[in-house]
Structure 1
Amino acid sequence: MPPSSAVETLALRVQVSAFAGATLPADHADLLREGLGGICLFGSNTEAGEESVRSLAAEIRSASAAGGWAPVITIDEEGGDVTRLEALTGSSVLGAAALGAADDLALTEETGQAVGSRLAWAGINLDLAPVADVNSNPDNPVIATRSFSHDAGVAAKHVAAWVRGLQTAGVAACVKHFPGHGDTGQDSHVALPVLDVSLDTLRDRELVPFLAAAEAGVASVMTSHIVVPALDPELPGTLSAPVLGLLRELGYDGPIVSDALDMAGASAQRGIPAAAVLSLAAGADLLVLGPDKPASLVRDTAAAIVAAVESGELPLERLQDAVARVDRLLADFPGTQQHPETDPRFEQRSIEGARRALATASDLAEIPDLTGARVVTIDTEANIAVGDVPWGLPPDVVLRPGEPLPDLPDAPLIVQVRDAHRRPDVGRTVAQLRSAAVLVEWGWPGAYDGQGLPRLCPQGFSLPGVTAVTEMLQRSGWDPTTGSGQRR
């Protein structure tokens, strides 16, 4: 058994922590010098802009280098609905569902590369993307437009293309959420979903995009906090040796990254340090703790890992193996910090892709004359993965579902919603809008009985999607410059 100080260092090397704000706190700098594996950036770290993120990444690298380490610097940058670098404006690239619907693999690969170029320049070397889940349940509250498709084959080829593009830019990809979060009806941030399918269905559907990613050379794979009774009826995937063992059986030998351990699906019943030990023992290599965590949690988690090694609950060899896998990833993706070089025609190609995505899912009964139309947003809270980011066209009126209607403009109404098919209160509010002329569904294009009300489905929010929707509405007479401004 090595000295306890050496085991403590190993216990730090497998952790990725997070903190609030755009500067590195002293206590996290100390942890990085001591061997903390890395930092995950969230909204509060990025809201000051990409120059600020680049500066923060340099601080993180400097602190780690002082201890003789290289850090993982990671982020959730999926494009479309889930963006951290562009959280104030909305993503400039198409999200997964729109890319899958456009079905242009060259555009998907180029999108991954565009994301990777920006991340590399900002000093980030691991992107917790893309989503490899097959969104076979249209009522899924957390995956939805983050998935490339409800079809495993379509999802697989686009996952592989996005991975290739991202890693061409020098940033490691991390496909998620193994073994597949698409056929679930709960959000693992706040609950423990169950994927109750047979092993045959799992292999024929859920695992297909993960296999494609592995064949494309994906650098890492993220776990999911879901129970898969066919593999393990008790523990969620992140903590389950049978689930994570399946990933190794498929031939994947890179690092397994845990989804955030502060999520209810992983730690609600046991706490984060205990979940960390279980996840390592099950086969995970890099533990993401979650956003805005105190340094004391990192130390408590390290102490739990050390205690588990000393008691024999966690074999030392398993911990050493995890660190070795993380070190190999860092050797392959040290962080190039190149300046973004995106083909200037990429923006136009993205808009063309957004037009194709819009055409594939929209329910286009004839759109009536929209001269003088006003935009009404029926505002609903996004899931935690998406967060509080802009979405939709700039509204003239914002409504909350279920609240009494205010006086509305005497004009045709462009009504925009998110995932109305799984929110009955949104549907009831739409039905009360007698002047509604067209519905814009920015979420997953679920079942629709609009009783003649045409529906546009851009399949997720993005700035190219806004352009495509705006063009469609303008062809029916809408003038986006004549709105009365945002009001409630």
Structure 2
Amino acid sequence: MRKTMILIVLSAVLMGGCVSDRTFDRSIPAIKDTLLPFPSKETIDLAPSDPVEKLLASMTLEEKVGQLVIAGFYGTSVDEVTEDLITEAKLGGLIFFGRNVESTSQLVGLLNTFKRIESKIPLFLSIDEEGGSVSRLPSDIANLPGARTIMKKNVLNLTYEEGRAIGYALDEYGFNMNFAPVLDVDNGKSNSVIGSRSFSTDPMVVAELGVLMARGMEEHGVIPVVKHFPGHGDTAVDSHAGTPIVKHPMDRLNNVELYPFAYAIERDIPAIMVGHIILSKVDAKVPSTLSYAVMTGLLRNQMKFEGVVVTDDLGMGAISADHTQAEAAVLSIKAGADIVMISHGRRDPFKAVAALKKAVLDGVIPMAMLDQKVRRILRLKLRFKIDQTPHDQVDVGKINEWFNELRKK
């Protein structure tokens, strides 16, 4: 296994410190104004001295294209194929599922192994940790209340506390990105796909609680990726198996489905996951993850989102019924995504990278478009001081103490 000097480029060129150097106060301050914005992102001058521009100028085409992909992998250790995702495909990040987790010691060791593999730019190391029914942490970690349970407790600070607790635990293991919280507004019907993963049937409650949870994660250096834009709460079809369609008029969408995302965007949410949902009043032909009208026209231009756009897994049924993951990756990046998620198939991430590279060389994806997407990704990694520092063994007792305190409230 090849080793690396920690943060070969990004720490030396972009950072003055790293997340692991910080200590965090576990006390919970009172939240007097829940409408405060997220901490302001750094204003970076687009001059030749800009460190992001310097790094971007030094990157090869392969390195740029790799940043556009977060991939799943198989097994609980790193084999040659998995290592090649980083050294050959030069991926920007990885996502961990239950199939990758056996125990706390195994998971910490696995994350540390990835951090020690030679990588010019630090990896997004991501997971789905919502609390409740969607949790990927080892079985020796207590389960946190889900979104609906938190809302029913009617304790505003509890949502913020849970976000901090999740951020603390993920940072302890070595993760730096979390695909949570859920900003879908539940339709209150028994056929809802999202159900109790949503905070509420009230879009204002979803918005406020979701932003509070995200803010708590940020406090521990974990990137919150809110989901599933433009809203999966009023759908009866699960996008893992088919294509959900939302047919509501725009005034309803603006007041319900889109409201929590608009609220989060106004408060500088750093990243949004787009779901495989057909928004028929915007683009009735393709899922949002493949739609220029949704990702660029609606999310970028109308809602003014300047952060990183990530797709849901392109191996899900809503996409795989009509496209290979490689085909979908090109369509999605061209339509407005910054990062595509490829979680199925050991060779599919490599095929996606090859297809994206060919699309750039053929002019299907203009170089200026590629550079803008990579620029956003690098700025996000800078903003959260992503590094490759290995972590010591996790203190499960401390995490469980905090988690159990929240369960009792």
Q: What are the Cα deviations for residues 159-209 of structure 1, in whole angstroms up to 9, with x where unaligned?
A: 011001111111000000001000111000000010111111111001111
Distance in 2, matches of 1:60 and 1:348, equals 32
Q: Kindly state the Cα deviation for residue 142 of structure 1 after the two structures are TM-superposed.
A: 2.8
| TM-score, scaled relative to structure 1 | 0.67
Q: Distance in 2 between matches of 1:70 and 1:53?
A: 18
Tell me if 1:84 matches 2:136.
yes
1:287 corresponds to 2:340: yes
Structure 2 residue runs without a partner (length 5+): 1-55
| Aligned match for 1:41, one of 96, 105, 113 | 96
**Residue equivalent to 1:320:** 371
2:252 is the alignment partner of 1:201: yes
CA distance in 2 between counterparts of 1:137 and 1:290 reads 30
Partner Cα distance (1:216, 1:91) in 2: 31
Q: Secondary structure at the match of 2:286?
A: coil
1:271 aligns with 2:328: no
SS of the residue 1:83 aligns to: coil
Give the secondary-structure state (helix, strand or coil) at the position aligned to 2:95: strand
The aligned amino acid for 2:135 is T
Secondary structure of the residue aligned to 2:201 is: coil
Partner AA of 2:95 in structure 1: C
Counterpart of 1:404 in structure 2 is none
Deviation at 1:91, TM superposition (A): 5.0
Q: Does 1:55 align with 2:109?
A: yes
Counterpart residue number, 1:260: 313
Gaps (5+ residues) in structure 1? 353-488
Q: Tell me, yes or no, if structure 1 residue 151 matches structure 2 residue 202.
A: yes
Q: Which residue of 2 aligns with 1:111?
A: 162
Asked whether the 8 Å contact 1:188–1:226 carries over to 2, the reply is: yes
**Structural RMSD (CA):** 2.2
Is residue 2:96 matched to residue 1:11? Answer: no
Show CA shifts across 1:134-160 (max 9, x none).
011523453111100111011111101
Match of residue 350 from structure 1: 407
For 2:400 and 2:159, the matched residues in 1 are separated by 14
Report the TM-score when normalising by structure 2. Answer: 0.79
Residue 483 of structure 1 is matched in structure 2 by: none
1:161-240 → structure 2 map (5 Å cutoff): 161-240=212-291
Task: Tell me if structure 1 keeps the 8 A contact 2:162–2:406.
Answer: no
Q: Relative to 1, partners in 2 of residues 1:170 and 1:67: Cα closer, same or farther, differing over 3 Å?
A: closer
For residue 265 of structure 1, give the secondary structure of its aligned residue in structure 2.
helix
Q: Would you say the 8 A contact 2:192–2:234 is kept in 1? A: no
State the alpha-carbon separation in 1 of the partners of residues 399 and 135 from structure 2. Answer: 18
CA positional deviation for 1:349: 4.4
Letter in 2 for 1:36: L
Aligned to 2:32: none
Structure 1 counterpart of 2:86: 32
Aligned to 2:294: 243
C-alpha deviation, 1:251, in angstroms: 2.2
The one-letter code matched in structure 2 to 1:281 is K
Contact 1:261 1:272 in 2 (8 A): yes
Measure the CA separation in 1 of the matches of 2:62 and 2:399. 43
Q: Deviations over 1:312-365 (max 9, x none)?
A: 22222222222121111212221685967669576344323xxxxxxxxxxxxx
Aligned residues: 343
Secondary structure (helix, strand or coil) at the match of 1:119 reads helix
Structure with higher Rg: it is 1
SS in 1 for 2:313: coil
Conserved 8 A contact 1:159-1:212: no
Distance 1:215 1:23 in 2: 40
How far did 1:217 drift?
3.0
Give the structure 1 partner of residue 151 of structure 2: 100
Greater RCO, CA 8 A, separation 6+: 2
Percent of aligned pairs with the same amino acid: 34
